[in-house]
């Protein structure tokens, strides 16, 4: 079979649009660039130079920040493709290592490629002995995401032979190292919190098996593998592997655009992922279910979520791109049921989650705003069923997403239009004014101004 060549990152100009400033009658022609699927884009790069105006798009709701050939999402159709392959097919037939290869290298691996890739990743799973001592500097109760941001950032102090971003071999080594070490780093954060020794990675295990054994084995006893749990974790990793230009991936790209080393860039991605609006939502969902407590409180919390003056939101609901359903959530829900059945767990939180889902899905507010359960709504149920505490949920997401961050990081360097990321702003502050000497600033009996400053 002939292998498909990777698409180039340039997008063809297929049209122009005219932009007219009505007050002055000035007009500018802007190129329209073609996407292989999905919306085309208006190329506004010359706009500032030509018109002396910026475009304004807080939260990047209408802005494409790059060209990319890695992942495609059709939010209306609930479609997610990695390098063209539907997520449902990958979740059913692929495994995480193969998916990593696909995302990084653009095609499904041939048998020899897969073997070699798995071999390389397996050879990098250990972390430097000196890095293990790093953990001791953290409080036992530290959030594992805090440890991950620190330890992954610290990798750049250990692996000097893979920080030169201009050397292709070093780029590859850094990427393979991070994919390999992320389970070790996350599992050790968990073991450290429990006051346990760090189980070494074992080469005989698959990626998901190794992650599980490092999380759950103790010195006196080996972890007994349950193939269904291994499969569920492998699938969890596939479902989280990439999601195009989300907040953490954009953070990695922005950090990398300055030429920062890859370990520092991925640490910045982990930091961004941690927020409850993004990867931290899986932890927040379980906290929310605990807060709701039982079915009779659902109506009260749904009302709170709809109240503009209440900061409470239904965690695990809504998505910037998916406006119909999140295809990852569908797979994750089935997986959650399978695991609960396999382990014989009757988790009341699952019932609560199902009831909440039904009530929200039939509520006009949620229907009008197209708010559906996302991947994080169900993932916590699986992770909790296998015995992980809620604060380990987002580290699990980070393990899966590392390959996505790295695929985008690598892609950036192949982009002929690659530039340091540097957004502009609409400045609405004071115009230039002269410095006022202290004695000329007057006095106030009112509450000091700076105490109010931090309120929203
Ligand atoms: N509960 C209640 N109302 C909501 C929710 C929610 N979960 N999500 C959005 N809304 C409302 C929001 O108040 C706004 O209302 P209005 O138009 O009246 O101002 C409207 O829906 C649009 O919301 P938005 O915040 O402007 O939409 P966004 O695209 O900026 O935010 C989101 C997307 C995922 C951050 C948001 O839906 C949210 O906070 N959800 C809960 C957190 C969550 O589950 N995050 C995980 C996302 S999936 C995992 C991943 O990151 O990959």
Q: How far is the CA of 70 from the centre of ligand 1 (A)?
A: 25
pLDDT for 78 beyond 60: yes
Query: How buried is 108 (Cβ within 10 angstroms: 0-12 exposed, 13-18 middle, 19+ buried)?
Result: middle
In this structure, is residue 74 part of a structural domain? no
Q: How confident is the model at residue 2 (pLDDT cuts 50, 70, 90)?
A: low
Q: Are 212 and 304 found together in one domain?
A: yes
User: Ligand 1: which residue has its CA nearest to atom 39?
Assistant: 277
- Give the position, in ligand 1's atom list, of the atom nearest the Cα of 326: 48
The confidence score (pLDDT) of residue 363 equals 93
CATH of the domain at 17: 2.20.28.60
The confidence score (pLDDT) of residue 238 equals 98
Q: Are 45 and 151 found together in one domain?
A: no
Q: Of residues 222 and 65, which shows the higher confidence score?
A: 65
**Helix axes of 96-105 and 393-414: crossing angle, nearest 10 degrees:** 30
The confidence score (pLDDT) of residue 416 equals 87
Q: How confident is the model at residue 8 (pLDDT cuts 50, 70, 90)?
A: confident
CA-based nearest residue to 209, from 226, 185, 195, 193: 226
Q: Which residues pair with 13 in a beta bridge?
A: 33
Alpha-carbon distances, residue 425 vs 57, 77, 156, 297 (angstroms): 10, 33, 33, 43
Q: Are 251 and 165 found together in one domain?
A: yes
pLDDT for 1 beyond 60: no
- Give the position, in ligand 1's atom list, of the atom nearest the Cα of 316: 44
Tokens of 362: 């039939």
pLDDT for 41 beyond 90: yes
Q: Are 56 and 188 found together in one domain?
A: no
pLDDT, tens digit, 9 for 90 and up, residues 343-376: 998 878 888 988 999 998 899 999 999 999 999 9
Q: Are 33 and 145 found together in one domain?
A: no
The confidence score (pLDDT) of residue 351 equals 86
Q: How far is the CA of 320 from the centre of ligand 1 (A)?
A: 7
In this structure, is residue 341 part of a structural domain? yes
Pocket of ligand 1 (CB under 6 A): 59, 243, 246, 277-279, 281, 305, 313-320, 369, 371, 374-376
Distance CA(320)–CA(330), nearest Å, equals: 17
Least confidently predicted of 84-93, 315-324, 349-358: 349-358
The confidence score (pLDDT) of residue 279 equals 97
Distance CA(388)–CA(403), nearest Å, equals: 22
**Helix axes of 348-361 and 327-343: crossing angle, nearest 10 degrees:** 150
pLDDT for 292 beyond 70: yes
Q: Are 220 and 150 found together in one domain?
A: yes
pTM: 0.95
The residues assigned a catalytic role are 319, 376
Q: How confident is the model at residue 127 (pLDDT cuts 50, 70, 90)?
A: very high
For residue 409, what are the domain limits? Answer: 91-424
Q: How far is the CA of 129 from the centre of ligand 1 (A)?
A: 42
pLDDT for 429 beyond 90: yes
Distance CA(313)–CA(318), nearest Å, equals: 10
Q: How confident is the model at residue 219 (pLDDT cuts 50, 70, 90)?
A: confident
The confidence score (pLDDT) of residue 425 equals 97
In this structure, is residue 120 part of a structural domain? yes
Q: Are 303 and 339 found together in one domain?
A: yes
Q: Are 41 and 151 found together in one domain?
A: no
CATH of the domain at 291: 1.10.580.10
Whether 328 and 375 have beta carbons less than 8 Å apart is answered as yes
Total domain count for the chain?
2
User: Ligand 1: which residue has its CA nearest to atom 20?
Assistant: 369
Q: How far is the CA of 417 from the centre of ligand 1 (A)?
A: 32
Ligand 1 pocket test: pick from 318, 360, 370 the residue with the most ligand atoms within 8 Å of its Cβ: 318
Report the pLDDT averaged over residues 373-400.
95
User: Ligand 1: which residue has its CA nearest to atom 14?
Assistant: 369
Report the pLDDT averaged over residues 256-260.
96
Q: Are 159 and 50 found together in one domain?
A: no
Q: Are 146 and 195 found together in one domain?
A: yes
Q: Are 36 and 120 found together in one domain?
A: no
High-pLDDT (> 70) share of the chain, %: 98
Q: How far is the CA of 313 from the centre of ligand 1 (A)?
A: 8
Q: Are 182 and 38 found together in one domain?
A: no
């Amino acid at each position: 079979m002939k292998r498909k060549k990777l698409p180039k990152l340039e997008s063809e100009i297929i049209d122009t649009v005219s932009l007219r400033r009505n007050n002055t009658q000035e007009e500018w022609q802007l190129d329209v660039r073609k996407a292989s699927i999905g919306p085309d884009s208006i190329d506004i790069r010359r706009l500032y130079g030509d018109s002396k105006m910026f475009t304004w798009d807080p939260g990047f709701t209408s802005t494409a920040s790059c060209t990319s050939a890695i992942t495609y999402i059709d939010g209306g159709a609930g479609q997610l493709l990695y390098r063209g392959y539907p997520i449902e097919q990958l979740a059913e037939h692929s495994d995480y290592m193969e998916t990593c290869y696909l995302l990084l290298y653009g095609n499904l691996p041939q048998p020899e490629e897969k073997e070699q890739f798995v071999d390389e990743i397996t050879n990098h799973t250990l972390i430097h002995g000196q890095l293990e001592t790093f953990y001791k500097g953290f409080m036992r109760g530290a959030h594992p995401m805090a440890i991950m941001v620190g330890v992954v950032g610290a990798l750049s102090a250990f692996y000097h032979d893979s920080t030169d971003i201009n050397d292709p071999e070093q780029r590859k080594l850094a990427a393979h190292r991070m994919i390999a070490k992320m389970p070790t780093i996350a599992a050790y954060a968990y073991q450290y919190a429990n006051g346990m020794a760090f189980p070494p990675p074992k080469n005989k295990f698959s990626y998901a098996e190794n992650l599980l054994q490092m999380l759950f084995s103790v010195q006196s006893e080996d972890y007994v593998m349950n193939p269904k749990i291994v499969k569920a974790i492998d699938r969890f990793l596939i479902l989280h592997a990439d999601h195009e230009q989300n907040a953490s991936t954009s953070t990695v790209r922005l950090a990398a655009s300055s030429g920062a080393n890859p370990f520092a860039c991925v640490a910045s991605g982990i930091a961004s992922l941690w927020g409850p609006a993004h990867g931290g939502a899986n932890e927040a969902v379980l906290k929310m279910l605990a807060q709701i407590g039982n079915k009779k409180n659902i109506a009260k919390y749904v009302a709170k979520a709809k109240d503009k003056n209440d900061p409470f939101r239904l965690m695990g609901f809504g998505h910037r791109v998916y406006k119909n359903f999140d295809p990852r959530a569908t797979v994750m829900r089935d997986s959650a049921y399978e695991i609960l059945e396999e382990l014989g767990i009757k988790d009341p939180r699952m019932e609560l989650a199902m009831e909440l889902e039904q009530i929200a899905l039939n509520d006009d507010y949620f229907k009008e705003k197209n708010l559906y359960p996302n991947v994080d709504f169900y993932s916590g149920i699986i992770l909790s069923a296998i015995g992980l505490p809620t604060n380990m949920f987002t580290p699990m997401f980070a393990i899966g997403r590392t390959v996505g961050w790295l695929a985008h990081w690598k892609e950036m360097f192949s982009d002929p239009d690659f530039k340091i990321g540097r957004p502009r702003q609409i400045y609405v502050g004071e115009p230039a004014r002269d410095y006022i000497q202290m004695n000329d600033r007057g006095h106030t009996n009112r509450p000091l101004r700076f105490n109010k400053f931090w309120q929203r």
